[in-house]
């Protein structure tokens, strides 16, 4: 890997966060740490085998002079033994049943005191046992992979009441947006608390969590709210997303909409990274899953390299700092280049070499990169998201309150970003075209004043007629299905006038 151009390795995470040396994705986690504390523990031998494997990987990286991103957790999973000891500290859905996202296992509430006390002890062990002896190798800690969802546990309810000075159960229909705002921020709260805990332990180590960049990030989001991941986390935290060209099972065909969604997602992440001065790291799915090898529409080696180049080029073009680009899942059983026993459209070694030789190209791009402001900004209402989340009481998959797909499809060949009206009001947008994907009912007076000012400054606003009436301004009604912004001789015309 080093000879072909890689300069860092992201080791695998412990998915799920249990102790089992023969699992598909082994790694470090709280449960491994807990089993290692007692040689008489029934899981001690497996925990030792898993720990020793990570140590061998760190030794190999040191010998090869490669840096390592070390994962130390998966979601907010503490393992079966901890769950049995602390059943009241688990995250729950609105119906008070333990939350089990995608049937991947129960997770702790990030607000619960038992969780915070035990994870702090675990972090201190990681610092002493791993970070200190391998500080020359470990460049960043990955605290969790794919944390998502909300939290209706007792600990979460107590935090809600403290924050909003009112119990969840006592909210009026007009106040449900508060419930949605809280649920949209659960994972951002988790990321912020965890990164701040590490600032106390070791302020010189970078931290991250790798968030899911599939359908609930590219198309419709809210659990978590993406902007909060940037705004709530401290300076030692880097926002990471998986950003596969095909982010689904290998048997599902890759589609043009997926590629368009990824482009809009990446430009949006780059814009957020610029606005919040927070670097990002991204994974490309350059394996059998990311290349849809078991489907009727598989992709090949050029698509793998293209995926990696997109991960740098598109965010950087929006002014975002890209801390790292990673080719994910080379060696994960049943997904990667190794241990994959199904036919592929590519030669595995050819793919490995081609992908790794893309890394020096990416570093050369970093030197020559030129940034520009987005041409188009698509504004949504965070209040609409909060209200819909609160009304649905969703804790796993967000309701379909907004679909970015039509915009991604329409602007596949233009630079566009998604942004909340609330963020845009801070003066964060220089785009000439402003598409308001919100009704007047979702906007308050400061929002409307901001949009009116944008119009008067010469920007072109697109939105529904009711919005134009609320603004008292001319506006063009634009249909996402067309993808065409109205132009005539280089002059934008505005065809509808309201008093």
Q: What CATH number is attached to the domain comprising 193?
A: 3.20.20.80
Residue 439, judged by CB atoms within 10 A of its CB (0-12, 13-18, 19+), counts as: middle
Asked if residue 284 has pLDDT above 80, the reply is yes
Q: Report the Cα 424 to chain-centroid distance in Å.
A: 21
Each residue's pLDDT tens digit, 218-231: 988 899 999 999 99
Read off the tokens for 336: 């990667």
107-129 residues labelled b (16+ CB within 10 A) or e (exposed): bbbbbbebbbebbeebbebbbee
Asked if 131 and 202 count as a contact pair (C-beta separation under 8 A), the reply is: yes
pLDDT value of position 481: 53
Residue 489 pLDDT exceeds 70? no
Answer for the pair 41, 53: CB distance below 8 angstroms, yes or no. no
Judge whether 483 lies within some domain. no
Residue 1 lies in a domain: no
User: Which domain covers residue 314, as residue numbers?
Assistant: 8-368
Residue 427 located in a structural domain: yes
Q: What is the mean pLDDT of residues 469-474?
A: 76
Do 315 and 404 lie in a common domain? no
What residues contact 390, with CB distance under 8 A and at least 6 apart? 171, 176, 177, 178, 179, 180, 181, 183
Integer CA distances (angstroms), 150 to 30, 228, 446, 449, in order: 21, 14, 29, 33
Q: Cα separation of 335 and 333, whole Å?
A: 5
pLDDT of residue 203: 96
Q: What is the pLDDT of residue 328?
A: 73
187 part of a folded domain: yes
Report which of 205, 216, 166, 211 is spatially closest to residue 188, judged by C-alpha positions.
Answer: 211
105: in domain: yes
Same-domain check for residues 50 and 107: yes
Length of the chain: 499
**pLDDT of the residue at 461:** 81
Percent with pLDDT over 70 in the chain:
93
Same structural domain for residues 300 and 381?
A: no
pLDDT at 259: 93
Give the pLDDT confidence score for residue 432 in this predicted structure. 80
Contact 78, 20 (CB under 8 A): no
Question: Within this chain, do residues 280 and 349 fall inside the same structural domain, yes or no?
Answer: yes
Cα distances (Å, whole numbers) of residue 181 to 32, 105, 210: 34, 25, 22
User: What is the average pLDDT value for the chain, to the nearest integer?
Assistant: 90
Residue 135 above 60 pLDDT? yes
pLDDT at 148 over 90: yes
Rounded Cα distance, 480 and 259, in Å: 17
Which of the residue ranges 176-190, 284-298, 328-342 has the most confident prediction, judged by mean pLDDT?
Answer: 176-190
Of 368, 393, 414, the domain-final residue? 368
376-380 and 322-327 as β-strands: parallel, antiparallel, unpaired?
Answer: unpaired
Is residue 499 over pLDDT 50? no
Does some domain include residue 493? Answer: no
Whether residue 318 sits in one domain with residue 228: yes
pLDDT at 484: 60
- My answer on whether 75 and 216 are in the same domain is yes
Query: What are the phi and psi torsion angles at 221 (to 5°)?
Result: -130, -175
Instruction: Mark which of 368, 385, 403 sits at the end of a domain.
Output: 368
Nearest 5°: phi and psi at 282? -140, 145
Q: Which residues contact 353 (CB under 8 A, 6 or more apart)?
A: 4
Which pLDDT value is given to residue 478?
56
Asked, for residue 62, whether it belongs to a domain, the answer is yes
Query: What is the arithmetic mean of pLDDT over 436-453?
Result: 90
Same domain, 279 and 426: no
The predicted pLDDT at position 434 comes to 86
Residue 480 has pLDDT above 80, yes or no: no
Is there a single domain that holds both residue 390 and residue 257?
no
Give 244-263 pLDDT, tens digit per residue: 999 888 999 999 999 999 99
Q: Which of 411, 426, 463 is nearest to 442 (CA)?
A: 463
pLDDT the model gives residue 477: 55
- Whether 297 has a pLDDT exceeding 60, the answer reads yes
**Residue 370 pLDDT > 70, yes or no?**
no
Q: What is the pLDDT of residues 307-366, one digit of tens each?
A: 999 999 999 999 999 999 999 766 677 787 777 888 999 998 899 899 989 999 998 887
What is the per-residue pLDDT for 491?
32
* Token pair belonging to 295: 């489907």
Same-domain status, 79 and 198? yes
Query: How far, in Å, CA of 321 to CA of 311, rounded?
Result: 11
Of 3 and 162, more confident? 162
Q: Assess contact for 461 and 455: CB atoms under 8 A.
A: yes
Co-location of 350 and 390 in the same domain: no
Residue 495 in this model has a pLDDT that exceeds 90: no
Percent over 90 (pLDDT), the chain? 72
The number of distinct structural domains making up the chain is 2
* pLDDT computed for residue 201 by the predictor: 98
**By the 8 A CB rule, do 10 and 326 touch?**
yes
Q: pTM for the full model?
A: 0.94
What is the Cα 475 distance to its own chain's centre?
34
In a shared domain, residues 213 and 197 = yes
- Both 457 and 351 in one domain: the answer is no
Closest CA to 224 of 257, 253, 182, 281: 182
490, part of any domain? no
SS (H, E, C) the chain: CCCCCCCEEECCCCECCCCCCCCCECCCCHHHHHHHCCCCCCCHHHHHHHHHHHHHHHHHHHHHCCEEEEECCCCCCCCHHHHHHCHHHECECCCCCECCHHHCCCCECCCCHHHHHHHHHHHHHHHHHHHCCCCCCEEEEEEEECCCCCCCCHHHHHHHHHHHCCCHHHCCHHHHHHHHHHHHCHHHHHHHHHHHHHHHHCCCCEEEEEECCCHHHHCCCCCCCHHHHHHCCCCCEEEEEECCCCCCCCCCCCCHHHHHHHHHHHHHHHHHHHHHCCCEEEEECCCCCCCCCCCCCCCCHHHHHHHHHHHHHHHHHCCCCEEEEEECCCCCCCCCCCCCCCCCCCCHHHHHHHHHCHHHHHHHHHHHCCCCCCCEEEEECHHHHHHHHHHHCCCCCCCCCCCCHHHHHHCCCCCEEEEEHHHHHHHHCCCCEEEECCCHHHCCHHHHHHHHHHHHCCCEEECCHHHHHHHCCCEECCCCCCCCCCCECCECCCCECCC
Stretch 403-430: mean pLDDT: 87
Domain boundary pick from 341, 368, 395: 368
């Amino acid at each position: 890997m080093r000879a072909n151009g890689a300069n860092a390795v992201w080791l695998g995470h412990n998915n799920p966060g249990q102790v089992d040396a023969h699992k598909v994705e082994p790694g470090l986690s709280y449960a491994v740490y807990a089993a290692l504390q007692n040689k008489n523990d029934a899981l001690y031998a497996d925990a030792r085998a898993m720990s020793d494997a990570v140590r061998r990987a760190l030794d190999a990286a040191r010998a090869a002079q490669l840096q390592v991103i070390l994962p130390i957790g998966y979601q907010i999973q503490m393992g079966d033994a901890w769950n049995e000891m602390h059943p009241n500290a688990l995250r729950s859905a609105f119906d008070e049943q333990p939350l089990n996202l995608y049937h991947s296992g129960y997770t702790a509430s990030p607000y619960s005191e038992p969780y915070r006390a035990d994870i702090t002890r675990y972090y201190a062990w990681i610092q002493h046992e791993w970070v200190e002896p391998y500080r020359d190798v470990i460049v960043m800690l990955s605290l969790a992979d794919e944390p998502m969802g909300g939290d209706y546990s007792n600990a979460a309810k107590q935090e809600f009441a403290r924050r909003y000075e009112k119990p969840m159960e006592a909210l009026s229909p007009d106040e449900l947006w508060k419930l949605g705002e809280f649920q949209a921020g659960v994972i951002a709260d988790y990321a912020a608390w965890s990164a701040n805990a590490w600032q106390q332990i070791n302020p010189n180590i970078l931290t991250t969590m790798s968030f899911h960049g599939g359908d609930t990030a590219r198309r419709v989001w809210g659990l978590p709210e993406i902007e909060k991941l940037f705004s709530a986390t401290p300076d030692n935290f880097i926002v990471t997303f998986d950003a596969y060209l095909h982010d689904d099972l290998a048997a599902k065909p890759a589609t043009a909409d997926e590629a368009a969604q990824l482009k809009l997602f990446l430009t949006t992440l780059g814009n957020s990274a610029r606005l919040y001065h927070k670097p990002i790291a991204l994974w490309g799915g350059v394996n059998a899953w990311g290349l849809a090898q078991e489907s009727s529409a598989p992709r090949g080696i050029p698509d793998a390299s293209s995926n990696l180049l997109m991960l740098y080029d598109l965010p950087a073009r929006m002014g975002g700092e890209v801390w790292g680009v990673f080719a994910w899942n080379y060696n994960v059983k049943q997904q990667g280049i190794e241990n994959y026993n199904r036919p592929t459209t590519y030669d595995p070694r050819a793919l490995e070499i081609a992908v790794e030789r893309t890394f020096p190209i990416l570093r050369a791009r970093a030197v020559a990169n030129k940034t520009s402001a987005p041409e188009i900004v698509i504004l949504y209402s965070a209040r609409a998201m909060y209200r819909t989340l609160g009304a649905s009481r969703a804790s796993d998959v967000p309701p379909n309150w907004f679909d970015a797909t039509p915009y991604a499809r329409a602007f596949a060949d233009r630079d566009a970003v998604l942004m909340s009206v609330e963020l845009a009001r801070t003066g964060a947008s220089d785009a000439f075209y402003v598409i308001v994907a919100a009704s007047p009912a979702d906007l308050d007076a400061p929002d409307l004043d901001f949009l009116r000012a944008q119009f008067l400054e010469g920007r072109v606003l697109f939105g529904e007629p009711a919005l134009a009436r609320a603004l008292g301004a001319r506006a063009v009604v634009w249909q996402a299905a067309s993808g065409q912004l109205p132009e005539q001789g280089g002059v934008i015309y505005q065809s509808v006038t309201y008093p």
